[in-house]
Amino acid sequence: MQTLLRMLYPPRCLICGGLVESDFGLCAACWRDTPFLSGLACATCGVPLPGVSDRAEHCDACLATPPPWREGTAALAYRDNGRTLVLMLKHGDRHDIAAAAAVWMAARAKPLAGPGTLVVPVPLHLRRHLRRRFNQSALLAQGIAQALDLDWCPDALRRHRHTPVLDGRGREERFRTLSDAISLDPKRGGLMRDRPVLLVDDVMTSGATLSAATEACLAAGAGDVCVCTLARVVKDT
Ligand SMILES: [Zn+2]
Ligand SMILES: [Zn+2]
């Protein structure tokens, strides 16, 4: 049966659709153009840093203005195929991409998670959720929780009011627009109390959304918050 299915539906590259060896894989050319983050990175925001180090290092931005979460990481840089994958996931209902991305993210997030960690996606506003039909961050959170054998909750956090699309807005404006926009869903009561939380989102730009979500978790009594995104914006140096 498996063999028959393989003949009828051979595995395809997530990006270009070319034939590949295994499910949820990338062909050699697409793999080469996918900027996986490895090596030294800021322990808080995941931005790549030059050199090597055997202790936690922090970028200048995080030293100047530490984000509210404890540690953070990302699987990809948000450019080339890193950007392509995020956009395909966001706008294309691509559960196959979410499955692969969650495995990459779980590998990065593993050191940030303990046995009692609760995996929580950053919420979309309901209206946007209805338009897009699914929250891509919830799919990622589910996959990460499965890979790391952790509990997860798709709707622990919610957005109060509709926030405008923030692409192209300045850093200050993003933070102002988003503060107080996210909180624990009251029906989730003491879910996070004294528990470590791993927040999951598709892409980190300024960190404003993740900051608002972190504040909401801490206000709900979370013991400690770490963040993991599929991609993060990396400025050219
Ligand atoms: Zn390909
Ligand atoms: Zn940083």
203-232: pLDDT as tens digits = 998 899 999 999 999 999 999 999 999 999
By DSSP bridging, strand 157-159 and strand 182-184 are: antiparallel
Residue 60 pLDDT grade (very low, low, confident, very high; cuts 50, 70, 90): very high
Distance 36 CA to ligand 1 centre (A): 15
β-partners of residue 200 are: 121, 228
Residue 135's pLDDT is 85
Distance 118 CA to ligand 1 centre (A): 34
Instruction: Give the number of the ligand closest to the Cα of residue 18.
Output: 1
Residue 235 pLDDT grade (very low, low, confident, very high; cuts 50, 70, 90): confident
pLDDT at residue 58 greater than cutoff 80: yes
E strands along 112-175, which residues?
Answer: 118-121, 151-152, 157-159
Residue 23's pLDDT is 75
Tokens of 67: 């984000």
Comparing 61 with 24, the larger pLDDT belongs to: 61
Phi, psi (degrees; rounded to nearest 5) at 26: -120, 145
Q: What is the pLDDT of residues 166-204, one digit of tens each?
A: 666 676 776 666 667 899 998 998 999 999 999 999 999
Distance 182 CA to ligand 2 centre (A): 23
Residue 37 CB partners (closer than 8 Å, separation 6+) = 46, 48, 73, 74, 75, 76, 77, 108, 232
Residue 90's pLDDT is 86
Residue 126's pLDDT is 59
Residue 7's pLDDT is 73
9-13, 89-93, 142-146, 189-193: range with highest mean pLDDT:
142-146
Instruction: Give the number of the ligand closest to the Cα of residue 56.
Output: 2
Q: What is the pLDDT of residues 112-170, one digit of tens each?
A: 999 899 999 999 865 665 665 678 999 999 999 999 999 999 999 998 765 566 666 67
Instruction: Give the number of the ligand closest to the Cα of residue 32.
Output: 1
Q: What is the pTM of this model?
A: 0.89
Residue 131's pLDDT is 62
Distance 67 CA to ligand 2 centre (A): 8
pLDDT at residue 100 greater than cutoff 60: yes
Distance 48 CA to ligand 2 centre (A): 9
Distances (CA, A) of 236 to 47, 77, 105, 159, 231: 11, 11, 23, 32, 15
Distance 216 CA to ligand 1 centre (A): 39
Instruction: Give the number of the ligand closest to the Cα of residue 28.
Output: 1
Instruction: Give the number of the ligand closest to the Cα of residue 81.
Output: 1
Judge residue 27's burial from the number of C-beta atoms within 10 Å of its C-beta, 0-12 exposed, 13-18 middle, 19 or more buried: middle
Residue 206's pLDDT is 87
Distance 31 CA to ligand 1 centre (A): 7
Distance 79 CA to ligand 1 centre (A): 16
Q: Are 46 and 69 in contact (CB under 8 A)?
A: no
Distance 45 CA to ligand 1 centre (A): 29
E strands along the chain, which residues?
Answer: 71-77, 118-121, 151-152, 157-159, 182-184, 196-204, 224-232
Distance 220 CA to ligand 1 centre (A): 43
Tokens of 190: 């003491």
Distance 73 CA to ligand 2 centre (A): 10
User: Which residue in 197, 99, 105 sits closest to 139, CA to CA?
Assistant: 99
How far, in Å, CA of 84 to CA of 15, rounded?
8
Distance 16 CA to ligand 1 centre (A): 4
Residue 55 pLDDT grade (very low, low, confident, very high; cuts 50, 70, 90): very high
